[in-house]
Chains A and B, each alone.
Chain A
Amino acid sequence: MENSVVGYVPILMQFVFAAGFVGATILISHFIGPHRSSKTKDANFECGIEIHGNARLPFSVKYFLVAILFVLFDVEVIFLYPWAVNFREMGMDGMLKMILFMGMLLIGLYYIIKKKALEWE
């Protein structure tokens, strides 16, 4: 059971169940509640004052940089998983291989911090 794909069938069942529950709840609450709309009511809430400009404002490039760095670090972390599982069998050999790999990660992190790329003014 452990190694075969059959183990994933219950996950699929749970997904179908969860999605069904969520969909049904949204539908039911949609039909139960009242519906009254007016132009002022439908307006987006900005502390009660008139809306200024468009809500789809471009935001700081910092968030974008965080997303890029996340992708890179995420890939690095994923590479560590097959290593960690095999660590006991490989012993010292595996440790050295990974220190080399992780050294690069640390250099990158050091560079990011030194460059103040993640400073939020």
Chain B
Amino acid sequence: MTFYIFLFLAALAVFCGLMTVTSRNPVHSVIFLIGCFFAIAGHYLLLNAQFLAVVHIIVYAGAIMVLFLFTLMMMNLNEASEGHKPALARISAVVSAGLLLFILIAALKKTEPFAPPLTIDHSIGLVKALGNTLLNEYLLPFEFVSILLLSSMVGAVLIAKRDKSPKPELE
């Protein structure tokens, strides 16, 4: 049963991923990418990582894709204005994607075949266990995350907000 669900989710994820890349309309791409995120959240659920699954949906599908959609809508998206991509851009895209694929395959070949431990602690993916690990063992990275978020906040404000009042001495 689990195996068939896995196959279905995997097929869904691959299909949505392909459609994300091949769709002509960028908004369609965004929708397929959201579908892909849901399929991946389903994979997390199969591994009983419930917190991760739901956070994946909230953060990726619910927050980051909203940002994508905003960006797409901010740009003037008309069928007519969609220009032809230059050949150099296409070639570089193919090359960089090919390199990424190569790295992924190389990384996959190195991993040991995964053998599940005989006794699985079923509460390991739940929020309580996760919080304990996060706030005790991984306390330092956890606090660093807040600094990272602070710096990106400052960056976002600086980029979006141009200083409208020039400094008096420059006048």
A and B touch in the complex (CB under 8 A): yes
Binding site for B on A (CB under 8 A): 3-5, 8, 54, 56-59, 61-65, 67-72, 74-76, 78-79, 81-83, 85-86, 89-90, 94, 97, 100-101, 103-105, 107-108, 111-112, 115-117
Whether the Cβ atoms of A68 and B59 lie closer than 8 Å is no
Scoring B128, B142, B154, B157 by chain A CB atoms within 10 A of each residue's CB, the highest score goes to B157
| Interface segment out of the listed B13-21, B69-77, B84-92 | B69-77
- Which of chain B's residues has its CB closest to A7's CB? B50
Q: How far is the CB of A89 from chain B (nearest CB, A)?
A: 8
Scoring B46, B132, B134, B150 by chain A CB atoms within 10 A of each residue's CB, the highest score goes to B150
**B29 on the interface (CB 8 Å rule)?**
no
Whether the Cβ atoms of B70 and A82 lie closer than 8 Å is no
Whether the Cβ atoms of A83 and B156 lie closer than 8 Å is no
Q: How far is the CB of B77 from chain A (nearest CB, A)?
A: 6
CB-CB < 8 A to A97: which residues of B? 135, 139, 142-143
Binding site for A on B (CB under 8 A): 45-46, 48, 50-51, 55, 58-59, 62-64, 66-67, 70-71, 73-78, 122-123, 126-128, 130-132, 134-135, 139, 142-143, 145-147, 149-150, 152-154, 156-157, 160-161
In the complex with contacts A5-B48, A65-B157, A101-B142, A82-B59 CB distance below 8 A: no
- Which of chain A's residues has its CB closest to B128's CB? A85
Q: Is the interface of B mostly helix, strand, loop or mixed?
A: helix
CB-CB < 8 A to B145: which residues of A? 75, 79
Scoring A75, A79, A82 by chain B CB atoms within 10 A of each residue's CB, the highest score goes to A82
Distance between Cα atoms of A78 and B77 in the complex (Å): 33
Whether the Cβ atoms of A108 and B154 lie closer than 8 Å is yes
Distance between Cα atoms of A116 and B45 in the complex (Å): 42
Distance between Cα atoms of A57 and B130 in the complex (Å): 45
In the complex with contacts A69-B156, A85-B127, A105-B66 CB distance below 8 A: no
Whether the Cβ atoms of B150 and A104 lie closer than 8 Å is yes
In the complex with contacts A5-B45, A8-B45, A68-B67, A115-B149 CB distance below 8 A: no
Q: How far is the CB of A69 from chain B (nearest CB, A)?
A: 7
CB-CB < 8 A to B45: which residues of A? 5, 8
Distance between Cα atoms of A56 and B142 in the complex (Å): 41
CB-CB < 8 A to A69: which residues of B? 153, 156-157
Task: Point out the residue from A61, A63, A85, A100 that lies within 8 Å of B131, measured CB to CB.
Answer: A85
